[in-house]
Structure 1
Amino acid sequence: MDQTQSGPDLDAYFLRIGYRGPREPSLSVLQRLHALHPLAIAFENLDSFLGRPVRLDLPSLEDKLVHARRGGYCFEQNTLFWKVLAALGFEVSGLAARVLWNQPEDTLNPRSHMLLRVEIDGATWLADVGFGGVTQTAPLLLAPGAVQETPHEPCRVIETADHYRLQVQIGGEWRTVFRFDMTEHVDVDYVVSSHFVSTWPASQFVTTIMAARALPTGRLALRNDRMTVHETGGPSRQVHFATPAELRATLSADFGIEVPEPGRFDARFLELGLGAPAELR
């Protein structure tokens, strides 16, 4: 990261995620921060959905994710997390991944996801607080093949000839989240990738309402007018929103997100034909 700009406001960030503990570059601190961040700061794409710019500079990230009732997507979440970890003295670098979630294993997508590499006492850990409905809630040791328990799903990293794959176990099945290698990425790489996914007309970040949040008892995952509630160790259920007002209320109450430009949000919701038919509203 660009170390010429001032560092993050750690007091404000720790208050935002509810952290009270030591400020040292230890594994226990990383684990605690990684558990708390996804519980407090939701994944969401409302700015790109509404055609608003997505900024990755630290002041903008703090204004949005720390001080306002907002979340963000991977480039925002992991950039902020990177700056916090670096300020605490962690050895952190950036990586990029090709998303494979809900796609065939042989799909070759662009590197549109950001994650972090953290070195602690000679061991490599993977940190990622911004992958929607299966966002990690613990750092993962780069130990190919080892099943690693987290506060939510078991995870593992598998190694192939030229890359690694991150997998999560859901319903007894291992599912690939993304593939990555250890090529280091820097600020400008993420600025370019973020601009593409937030402005390309066919991007799901432009065409679809998305939000997700980890809960102590499971997860919430929203896509357009439907929210799935996943209970840890139990069944999942779906909630349908008939009106944009209902959806905005849930985003506020359950995701902790204050919807920007509510009038414009409502109009886009209706333009996409979401919710109940007009005659039933």
Structure 2
Amino acid sequence: MTEDLGYGWQGDLIDLPAYLKRIGHDGGLDPTPETLRALHRAHVMSIPFENLEIMVGRPVELSLDAVQAKLVGGPRGGYCFEHNRLFAGVLERLGYEIVALAGRVMMGMSTLRPCTHVILLVRPPDLPRDEPGWLCDVGFGGGPLEPLRFRDGEDVEQDGWGFRLLKGRSTTTWDGGADEWALHQRLPRGWVLRHAFPMNELFRVDFEVLNHYVSTSPRSPFTMRPFTQRFLPDVHYVLDGTDLTTTRPDGTTETRTLAPSELPETLAKLFGIVLEPEDASRLIEFVRRRDG
């Protein structure tokens, strides 16, 4: 047995038939841009974003077995480290080249934010070296539906949702700075800087370190309240605590506040997240304590 040195994404351990069934993909699997777009769209539409393990008192596990059991084997979802851990393994299995990158989630803020998000730079194996790869992000919860080319000024419309990729220089203490990319998203309030990321490669062990902070620190927003998302061509659902927001591609938005007891049914109906009865009770109690 070969020692696992921590490189790569363990694509040989992916249960590919189960994954393809979970996302409803029955098309081609050749490692082409067309396959990448189809898989990305199917994944985003099928597996929701959620942080509910934290609310029910369990750690967020990033082993491939744990991620597949939760996101593929059950009617559950996960957040960026789980989603992109799984997607990287699938793409590696199919023959794509993958580099993981860390992002600073800005959402329109101007103050420096920590790196708490991960995305993937993906290249089909036959892509010429002078051609840009693709930004893949199946784990943010708010799109994009399909990858974006790593091309400065890339501006795309996907089923009415707008995304823009720009290249710039980061602000550092030394002359010149470093290459940094920024993903902008068109929201009801206009174009917003969603996250920024330098071209510094991450590995699985880095996912573990970032995941520990995000899932355990009292300063992390993900330890404070349930946060789930489902992104579809015609609607974006967000459950933030007990506030349920529905946004359409034309910018229309509706928000209503749920009672804690409504959360499990809403999660099942709108997000495709089905909790075990004990977990549903723990979630309701967590929210009641938080709001009490």
Per the TM superposition, whether the score is higher than 0.5 is yes
1:110 aligns with 2:114: yes
Length-normalised TM-score, structure 1: 0.91
Q: How many aligned positions are there?
A: 270
Deviation >6 Å, runs of 4+ = none
| CA deviation vs aligned residue, 1:254-276 (integer Å, no higher than 9, x gap) | 101123512211111110117xx
C-alpha distance 174-213 of structure 1, shift in aligned 2 (>3 A) = same
Aligned with residue 54 of structure 1, among 50, 60, 78: 60
1:149 aligns with 2:162: no
2: CA distance, partners of 1:229 / 1:215: 11
Quote the offset at 1:4 in angstroms: 5.9
Aligned with residue 190 of structure 1, among 200, 207, 212: 207
C-alpha distance 213-227 of structure 1, shift in aligned 2 (>3 A) = same
Q: Give the match for residue 277 of structure 1.
A: none
1: CA distance, partners of 2:50 / 2:105: 17
Is the Cα–Cα contact under 8 Å of residues 152 and 218 in structure 1 kept in the other structure? no
1:252 aligns with 2:268: yes
Q: Tell me the SS of whatever aligns to 1:117.
A: strand
Counterparts of residues 125-274 of structure 1 (less than 5 Å): 125-132=134-141, 134-161=142-169, 162=178, 163-171=180-188, 173-233=190-250, 235-242=252-259, 244-260=260-276, 261-273=279-291
Q: Give the match for residue 19 of structure 1.
A: 25
Is the Cα–Cα contact under 8 Å of residues 9 and 88 in structure 2 kept in the other structure? no
RMSD of Structure 2 on Structure 1 (CA):
1.7
Length-normalised TM-score, structure 2: 0.88
Unaligned runs of 5+ in 1: 275-281
Is the Cα–Cα contact under 8 Å of residues 92 and 118 in structure 1 kept in the other structure? yes
| CA deviation vs aligned residue, 1:7-38 (integer Å, no higher than 9, x gap) | 21111111101101111110001001111111
C-alpha distance 230-61 of structure 1, shift in aligned 2 (>3 A) = same
| CA deviation vs aligned residue, 1:202-246 (integer Å, no higher than 9, x gap) | 21111111000012312101101111111222521113212x221
2: CA distance, partners of 1:8 / 1:239: 39
Moved more, 229-238 or 62-71: 229-238
Quote the offset at 1:6 in angstroms: 3.9
Moved more, 72-81 or 6-15: 6-15
Q: Tell me the SS of whatever aligns to 1:149.
A: strand
2: CA distance, partners of 1:166 / 1:47: 28
Unaligned runs of 5+ in 2: 1-6, 170-177
C-alpha distance 4-136 of structure 1, shift in aligned 2 (>3 A) = closer
Q: Tell me the SS of whatever aligns to 1:55.
A: coil
